[in-house]
């Protein structure tokens, strides 16, 4: 396969971790999952975002960089490729949504210093899901600290992702509209997504696909 490093990204509740797990298990890929459950600032942020946003984004920046630097720097002879459920640039996207202007300007300086030292993915897959479905997925998975997420927050994150795609055109972006699919429960839906990711050649820049059952 042409792609040795694939990223599955998307908004909160889009299903990126579930999809990355399924592909990794079936394809003997090395799986990199974002480690966020133990972040002490996350529950505090959802309760008091203005107070804890800067601490949260800095802690995520450090954690994501450390994990990706370690995982991507060590060759793995036992797996055919690497698949991750996040990309480092999500740090900048989330910070742009949560931080005040002066905090964001400082944060962006720190981010850009270390961003170029990490490998870029061969294929960046973005799972596009509308806000209503995202909120249903968030409610269904039942993480207590996520239950107060506002629709506006999700919409701003989506805008942040699209802006990043436009500003960084040298990466292969595959934008998959999966609103009509249930790739977790439906094997045929999953097969469609897997085939278009792993068995289709994608050009540099942005490619868009609307998938239906």
Q: Say whether pLDDT at 78 is over 90.
A: no
pLDDT band, residue 62 (cuts 50/70/90): very high
Structure-model confidence comparison of residues 5 and 74, the more confident one: 5
**Options 85, 122, 182, 189, the catalytic residue:** 85
Kindly report the pTM of this predicted structure: 0.92
- Closest to 206 measured CA to CA, from 165, 152, 150, 145: 165
pLDDT tens track for 175-199: 999 999 999 999 999 999 999 999 9
Longest Cα pair distance anywhere in the chain, in angstroms?
A: 48
Give the pLDDT of residue 77.
80
- DSSP E strands in 17-95: the ranges are 30-32, 82-84
Give the pLDDT of residue 1.
64
Q: Say whether pLDDT at 155 is over 80.
A: yes
Which sign, positive or negative, has the C-alpha torsion 108, 110, 113, 119? negative
Give the pLDDT of residue 2.
82
Is 85 considered catalytic here?
Answer: yes
């Amino acid at each position: 396969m042409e792609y040795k490093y694939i990223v599955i990204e998307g908004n909160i509740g889009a299903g990126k971790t579930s999809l990355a797990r399924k592909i990794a298990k079936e394809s003997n890929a090395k799986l990199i999952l974002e480690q966020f459950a133990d972040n002490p600032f996350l529950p505090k942020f959802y309760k008091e975002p203005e107070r804890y946003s800067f601490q949260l984004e800095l802690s995520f920046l450090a954690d994501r960089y450390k994990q990706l630097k370690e995982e991507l720097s060590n060759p793995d002879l036992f797996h055919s490729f690497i698949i991750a459920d996040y990309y480092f640039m999500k740090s900048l996207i989330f910070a742009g949504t949560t931080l005040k202007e002066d905090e964001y300007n400082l944060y962006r300086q720190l981010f850009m210093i270390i961003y170029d030292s990490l490998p870029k993915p061969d294929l960046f897959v973005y799972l596009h899901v509308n806000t209503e479905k995202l909120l249903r997925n968030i409610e269904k998975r039942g993480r207590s600290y996520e239950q107060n997420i506002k629709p506006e927050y999700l919409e701003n994150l989506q805008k942040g992702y699209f802006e990043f795609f436009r500003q960084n055109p040298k990466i292969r972006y595959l934008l998959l509209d999966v609103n009509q699919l249930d790739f977790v429960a439906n094997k045929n839906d999953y097969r469609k997504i897997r085939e278009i990711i792993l068995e289709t050649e994608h050009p540099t820049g942005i490619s868009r696909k609307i998938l239906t059952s």
